Amino acid sequence: MSRHVAPHRWADAFAGRLAEAERAQMDLHAASCKACADARARVGRASDSYGSIRTQAAPELPWDSVRARVHWSVSKEKRAQSQPPRRRIPHLAWAALAATAAGALALVTNGDLPRATEAPIAELPHPVTAPPEPAPVVAQPAALAGLVVRSAGATSDGEVMIDGVRPADLFARRLGAGTVLATGDGRVDVQFGDASAFALGPHSTLELRRFDAQLIELVVDGTIDLEVAPRLPGQRFVVIAGEHTVEVRGTRFRVRREAVATTIECRHGLVAVRDRSSQIEVGTARRVQLSAGTAITADLVVPMSVAELASLTETDPVRVPMWSVDALVSGSAPLEISTVGRRDVRVDGIELGLAPLRVRVMPGRHTVEAADPAGRFRRAGWVDVAAPTEGATPARLVVPAEPPRTAGIAERRRQLRAGIDQSRLARCTRSIAKAGMTDTYVQVELAVDASGAVSFLNVIDTDLPSATASCVRDVLADVRFGAGAAATWREKLDL
């Protein structure tokens, strides 16, 4: 044999794919050729190692964590398909809002902050072991007041009705005992303490039957998400949902009353649920679904899935820091944000969910960002909010529609195809064509702006050798585009 043995032929030989005569000829050559003998040894060792690679066991992984993440991802997608996505308001962003609001309040009040008028809502929760005793009678419990801090829905006022009418001054109204709130397609968030707020979901009705420092009694039909600061001894917080009563100690939970059943989901803390004859407790990350007319039993309480907990997190009611009813009524104003279609928005870096919406802010300049279809927030503009005055219309910012991103693709694609220097391209692929490598391809992603400049050009997939792929990329990079619509697209070129 006059020529060296190609290394892959040794692999064929080890796999028994060669005739005996050919194998003998190769061995004969290797006996007199050190390079081929070395190649044979290396290929032989590699072939021997395939078996050990094939029998490699899977490494141990944090299986429970992976499973939780899988369930999270899958259920999140299903939720997104069934309802418009909502965003959680991050804690850090709250800190930013707190700082902003503190500064603004200090300016409004000259640094002399009024104190909250209602009773403090603090201290540790009590464990509920038995149906609680009625609260001791207090001669004149201090009345509480709630303020709307956000409304959202198909229209920015959330189609909220107070006592049967849609008020023009939704954000100026103090909500007290006896108030009845009702929502249409939207939702409304009401704050009534430093760490206490509720969000009334779409198509729901809520009556503030008792609303004072001693007893808060809410009657709900529909969905309500609550975040309640721990109760002091003697303070009670009760949500009545049909025949069931939910007694709160200090917690974040949701009550959903529907025609056939009432569901109570508790994200943290503890709530006691009772009917006329019995009581059960629903603790952290637990839920209970009670059908109408069915007796309450402890075995109805089941753990919540990761997806269900995430769903609760996403519907957290909005709260403003430095809670003080008087200061907020006189020193804050609603900001209305309108969008074309429903888009997530941020105000001063704080995610507020889907617009159109109104949110309570302090006077001053506020930056508004809106999410594009990919979920990236882009600056939509800023708006100056003045201190509230009688009859003034709320500050308003209209977020312009996103320009369609695909409008110019067809034209840009045509320009690319027409602009490729085919002779240069052929030079790039000549060497591999000579080697018999045909039917190759390269897939690129490129962006062209309105002036025709290429913003980026990346080879994202190819079966070409790297030098050839680089050569092809250079050819594509030299294509000249004219002015026109901006476009970003992927192009697969068969070579």
- Residues forming the site for another protein (CB under 8 A): 6-8, 10-11, 38-39, 42-43, 45-46, 48-50, 52-63, 65-67, 69-71, 73-74, 77-78, 305, 437, 439, 460-465
Shortest approach of another protein to residue 383 CB, angstroms? 40
Shortest approach of another protein to residue 79 CB, angstroms? 12
Phi, psi of 137 (to 5 degrees): -70, 130
Closest to 489 in 3D by CA, of 406, 411, 417:
406
Shortest approach of another protein to residue 486 CB, angstroms? 24
Q: Which is nearer to another protein, 50 or 382 (CB)?
A: 50
Angle among Cα 273, 277, 280 to the nearest 5 degrees reads: 30
Q: CA 204: distance to chain centroid?
A: 24
Q: How far apart are CA 241 and CA 218, in angstroms?
A: 9
Is residue 147 within 8 Å of residue 360, measured between CB atoms? yes
Q: Which is nearer to another protein, 95 or 460 (CB)?
A: 460
Q: How far apart are CA 263 and CA 241, in angstroms?
A: 9
Run of H or E residues at 355: strand 350-355
Shortest approach of another protein to residue 404 CB, angstroms? 27
The neighbouring-strand residues paired with 76 are none
SS3 486: coil
Q: Which is nearer to another protein, 297 or 458 (CB)?
A: 458
Is residue 213 within 8 Å of residue 180, measured between CB atoms? no
Q: Which is nearer to another protein, 67 or 378 (CB)?
A: 67
Q: Which is nearer to another protein, 47 or 284 (CB)?
A: 47
Is residue 255 within 8 Å of residue 239, measured between CB atoms? yes
Q: Which is nearer to another protein, 305 or 367 (CB)?
A: 305
Question: In this structure, are strands 244-248 and 215-228 parallel, antiparallel, or unpaired?
Answer: unpaired
Shortest approach of another protein to residue 381 CB, angstroms? 36
Q: Which is nearer to another protein, 239 or 469 (CB)?
A: 469
Q: Which positions ≥6 away from 371 have C-beta within 8 Å?
A: 343, 344, 345, 377, 378
Q: Which is nearer to another protein, 67 or 490 (CB)?
A: 67
Q: Which positions ≥6 away from 171 have C-beta within 8 Å?
A: 147, 148, 332, 333, 334, 358, 360, 394
Shortest approach of another protein to residue 287 CB, angstroms? 14
Shortest approach of another protein to residue 458 CB, angstroms? 8
SS3 157: coil
Shortest approach of another protein to residue 43 CB, angstroms? 6
Shortest approach of another protein to residue 252 CB, angstroms? 24
Q: Which residue has the tokens 């004072």?
A: 212
Q: Which is nearer to another protein, 4 or 405 (CB)?
A: 4
Shortest approach of another protein to residue 253 CB, angstroms? 22
**Distance (Å) of CA 155 to CA 85, 183, 338, 339:** 17, 12, 8, 10
Shortest approach of another protein to residue 466 CB, angstroms? 8
Q: Which is nearer to another protein, 66 or 453 (CB)?
A: 66
Q: CA 405: distance to chain centroid?
A: 23
Q: Which is nearer to another protein, 42 or 379 (CB)?
A: 42
Shortest approach of another protein to residue 11 CB, angstroms? 5
Phi, psi of 134 (to 5 degrees): -60, 145
Q: Percent helix, strand, coil in the chain (nearest 5)?
A: 30, 35, 40
The neighbouring-strand residues paired with 488 are 447
**Virtual torsion, Cα 475, 478, 480, 483, nearest 10 deg:** 120
Greatest CA separation for the chain: 113
Q: Which is nearer to another protein, 35 or 426 (CB)?
A: 35
Is residue 135 within 8 Å of residue 210, measured between CB atoms? no
